[in-house]
Structure 1
Amino acid sequence: MIGRMIWPLVFGIGGVAILVSLGVWQVQRLAWKEAVLAEIEAEIAAPPVALPQAPDAATHGYLPVQATGVFGADYLRVLVSQRGQGAGYRVISPFETGGRSILVDRGIMPTEGQPPAHAGPVTVTGNLHWPQEVDGFTPDPDIARNIWYARDVPALAARLGTEPVLVIARELSVSDAPVTPLPVDTSAIPNDHLNYAITWFSLAALWLGMTLYLLWRIRRRTV
């Protein structure tokens, strides 16, 4: 009987060990990801600084900045959907500041209406960001209707004639209603390691149960 049980036992123990190790690895990855997110959140909330002369995604991603300037008359609308609130448009405007022109994501507004025009200087406080929203399924922008489907910074900048630099506003020195700021945060950064860990540990428990059942069946047939 023992001879017939040895290989199922070895196979079962090996499978459980592998699955448990994968679960432990995902728990370790979860701790790492939470530390990364905490670091990013601290960086987002840090005191703002002046706009760098040559910002780039690798060095200045999420950098809090503050700049005073004038919004251009033109703007682009990026279609978005908020859970529980439905569709709306992110408003992307050109912003002249310090002799240069950049992009400012002013926030979200309803699909009806238009953003207000600001004739005088406005101080924008927000974070530099280069969203990665374009993939093979992203439709081309509807230029005629001024509807974009992703914040493609280089394309938006080319359309509005600005530097490929985007500030996500969290506060303006003037009222921008009906536009509501949508500050940058970490909600779009995936963190599924806990779900993966639960899956591996569940599979380990299932594998163990199947192994014990198989050993029980072998024992019954040999008694």
Structure 2
Amino acid sequence: MRRYLAPLVVGILGCAVLIQLGLWQLDRRDWKEGLLAEIVEGINAPPVPLPDQIDPSMKYLPVMVSGTTTGAEIDVLSHTREQGAGYQIVSRFITDDGRAILVDRGFVPQQMRRVERPPVRLQITGNLHWPQDASASTPAPNLDENIWFARDVEQMAATLDTLPVLVVASFVQGDNQGARPIPVAVEGIPNNHLSYAIQWFLIAATWAVMTLALIWRIRQRKY
């Protein structure tokens, strides 16, 4: 019996730790789902006028803003399921109270990228946003062609000489010049905790099978 004791203890302890990690991931999944629900509720809340003081803690705040585009814009490479490749148009926007901000007006298909979009007055309902689109493999923007591969609020603001404030439009009154708004949504926020939990449970099952196999081999040994 002593021959079985060490592998049995290791097997039980290993399975207990792995199962606990899986249960922890399930708890994390529940926490993330609650957080996403809060974000969705915030995104869909009644919009308010653009605050006087704005900072990233206001991410997703629904706002209303009126003003005029200047014709200056940044074209961010994008795509939609319906229209394929294209660009998100981020325009320099002067609010009625004189502030220069960024407005993500939405998506245009590739053939409309070079269509002229002169200054136009718009009333926009949308959300404040500080997207984190870039990854370590994202190329730097092609400033000569005005093609960007990710939205970077600080860098876009410096390029268009605006405050580091981005409003992502969900509804536009006025001539949006062919751009179709893509409202802020939670689909891009990862919630992979269930798959992580399944992985831990599978590892625990594998650990248990290996433990039983080891005990069986020990039993087959001759004294």
Whether the TM-score (by the shorter chain) exceeds 0.5 is yes
1:210 shift after superposition? 1.3
Task: Please tell me whether the aligned partners of residues 65 and 128 of structure 1 are also in contact (alpha carbons under 8 angstroms).
Answer: yes
Task: Give runs of aligned pairs for residues 2-151 of structure 1, distance below 5 A.
Answer: 2-58=1-57, 60-82=58-80, 85-97=83-95, 98-114=97-113, 117=117, 120-151=120-151
* 1:134 counterpart letter in structure 2: A
Task: Give me the whole-angstrom Cα distance separating, in 1, the residues matched to 2:140 and 2:7.
Answer: 56
Shift of 1:85: 4.8
TM-score (norm 2): 0.92
Q: Which residue of 2 is the match for residue 186 of structure 1?
A: 186
Matched positions, count: 221
Question: Separation in 2 of the partners of 1:135 and 1:221?
Answer: 54
Partner of 1:203: 203
Q: How big is each residue's C-alpha offset from its partner over 1:39-67, in whole Å with a ceiling of 9 and x where there is no partner?
A: 01100010000001121102x11000001
What secondary structure is seen at the aligned counterpart in 2 of 1:41? helix
Contact 2:62–2:128 at 8 Å: present in 1 too? yes
Shift of 1:108: 1.1
Give, as a single letter, the amino acid of the residue that structure 2 aligns with 1:181. P
Q: Please say if residues 121 and 174 of structure 2, whose CA atoms lie closer than 8 Å, have aligned partners that are also in contact.
A: no
Q: Closer, same or farther in 2 for the Cα pair 1:142/1:199, shift >3 Å? A: same
CA contact (8 A) 1:70 1:118 kept: no
**TM score, norm. by length of structure 1:** 0.92
Gaps of 5+ in 1: none
Alpha-carbon displacement from aligned partner over 1:88-146 (angstroms, at most 9, x marks no partner)? 11100011112111100011111122466465531100000011223443322112211
Partner of 1:73: helix, strand, or coil? Answer: strand
Letter in 2 for 1:5: Y
Q: Do 1:110 and 1:178's aligned partners in 2 also have CA atoms closer than 8 Å?
A: no
Displacement of 1:176 in angstroms is: 2.6
Q: 1:18 to 1:83 in 2, by over 3 A?
A: farther
CA distance in 1, matches of 2:18, 2:158: 50
Q: Which residue number in structure 1 is paired with residue 173 of structure 2?
A: 173
- Aligned partners of 1:85, 1:110: CA distance in 2, in Å? 6
Please say if residues 120 and 175 of structure 2, whose CA atoms lie closer than 8 Å, have aligned partners that are also in contact. Answer: no
- Aligned-pair identity (%): 48
SS in 2 for 1:75: strand
- Is the CA contact (8 Å cut-off) linking 1:19 and 1:201 kept in structure 2? yes
AA partner of residue 91 (structure 1): I
- In 2, the alpha carbon distance for the partners of 1:194 and 1:30 equals 6
User: 2-side partners of 1:15 and 1:83: how far apart?
Assistant: 45
More deviation, 138-147/128-137? 128-137
The reply to whether residue 217 of structure 1 matches residue 214 of structure 2 is no
**Which stretch of the first structure deviates more once superposed, 176-185 or 88-97?**
176-185
Structure 2: stretches of 5+ with no match in the other structure = none
